């Protein structure tokens, strides 16, 4: 095949050639997208309005919710447009933007989950020193480190991917996914694939080991608490975070542990949907269902909205 380095567009994979199924896909993705956006925005608003939630844990949770909004917004709207307009083309720079932004938001989310594990560890193991250790300046520094690390990582992976020459415009995925893009490259990908695998696995494995060790220390401390009520209260702040980490890790597992190369394209698409859409959609519900303070904040938010509507009816 001839070299297509300077090609202006890529051809993404559609979910179906049947128009009715395309419309169905559009509405399913629209429902998932609106659920994720509304859920995460409500979480952000509830935390921002409630003064009792001005703690590092909820500060990091706001950042996590914003990352979820970013991840799903990078991928889902374009996929909906493909089905609605029946046009599978994406510009070269649009594809670059998708790869860069997805790496930026996904890496940031994983790092924020790691920081949140550290925050819970300090809160449970050193409660008297919590405010001293997790002060405002330290939290801002952590967020800055997360953004800088994610930005560098996203730039390196994006540049490494698009430095290759491509022999085809057809991407067998519903978004610009790096492993799929590497498959249509003409160049020798051995060193690129090894570099990509080593860097990605190093970051993921390092964060995962840190989270596991941190929770082992947390559980060890919780078991030493004399009262059952104290143990439940301590664990109640950890369960939502641990659940989100599990969902993120399990769905991300599908991104790297792939079926054999002769597997169908539909299977690849199904795996991609699992690790790109499920975590951003479920995360706000996991926290709001398992955290009493979030439930209270959401109740206050809805009550304020109801009171504002009642007041406007009286006035006008």
315 domain-assigned: no
Residue 3 placed within a domain: no
What is the pTM (predicted TM-score) of this model? 0.84
| Total domains in the fold of the chain | 1
Residue 50 φ then ψ, to 5°: -80, 120
pLDDT per position in the chain (316 positions), as tens?
444 545 568 888 877 788 888 899 899 999 999 999 999 998 898 888 888 888 888 899 899 999 999 999 999 999 999 888 888 889 999 999 999 999 999 999 889 989 988 998 898 888 888 888 899 899 999 999 999 999 999 998 888 888 878 888 888 888 888 878 888 887 766 566 667 767 777 888 888 889 889 888 888 888 887 777 777 777 777 777 777 887 777 766 665 555 545 444 566 777 778 778 888 888 888 877 666 777 777 777 777 655 545 434 433 3
**What angle, 0 to 180 degrees and rounded to 10, lies between the N-to-C axes of helices 228-236 and 190-223?**
160
- CA angle, 181 as apex, 176 and 182 as ends, to 5°? 150
- Residue 13 within any structural domain of the chain: yes
Domain for residue 267, yes or no? yes
55 belongs to a structural domain: yes
CATH number for position 152:
1.20.1070.10
Q: Answer yes or no: is 172 within a domain.
A: yes
In a domain, 4, yes or no: no
Q: For residue 128, tell me if it sits in a domain.
A: yes
* Residue range(s) defining the domain that contains residue 189: 9-307
């Amino acid at each position: 095949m001839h070299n297509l380095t300077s090609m202006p567009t890529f051809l993404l994979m559609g979910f179906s050639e049947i128009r009715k199924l395309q419309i169905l896909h559009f509405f399913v993705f629209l429902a998932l997208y609106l659920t994720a956006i509304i859920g995460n925005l409500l979480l952000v608003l509830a935390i921002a309005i409630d003064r009792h939630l001005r703690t590092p844990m909820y500060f990091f949770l706001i950042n996590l919710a914003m990352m979820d909004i970013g991840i799903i917004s990078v991928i889902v709207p374009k996929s909906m447009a493909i089905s609605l307009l029946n046009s599978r083309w994406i510009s070269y720079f649009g594809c670059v933007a998708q790869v860069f932004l997805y790496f930026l938001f996904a890496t940031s989310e994983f790092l924020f989950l790691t920081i949140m594990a550290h925050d819970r560890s300090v809160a449970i193991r050193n409660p008297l020193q919590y405010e001293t250790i997790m002060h405002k300046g330290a939290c801002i520094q952590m967020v800055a480190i997360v953004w800088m690390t994610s930005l560098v990582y996203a730039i390196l992976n994006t540049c490494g991917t698009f430095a290759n020459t491509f022999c085809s415009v057809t991407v067998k995925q519903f978004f610009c996914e790096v492993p799929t893009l590497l498959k249509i490259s003409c160049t020798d990908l051995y060193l690129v694939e090894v570099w990509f695998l080593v860097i990605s696995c190093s970051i993921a494995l390092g964060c995962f080991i840190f989270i596991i060790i941190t929770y082992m220390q947390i559980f060890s401390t919780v078991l030493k608490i004399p009262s059952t009520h104290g143990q439940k209260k301590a664990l109640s702040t950890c369960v939502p975070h641990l659940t989100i980490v599990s969902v993120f890790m399990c769905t991300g597992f599908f991104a790297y542990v792939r079926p054999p190369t002769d597997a169908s394209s539909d299977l690849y698409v199904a795996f991609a949907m699992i690790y790109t859409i499920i975590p951003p959609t479920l995360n706000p519900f996991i926290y709001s269902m398992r955290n009493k303070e979030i439930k209270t904040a959401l109740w206050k938010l809805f009550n304020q909205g109801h009171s504002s509507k009642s007041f406007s009816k009286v006035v006008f």
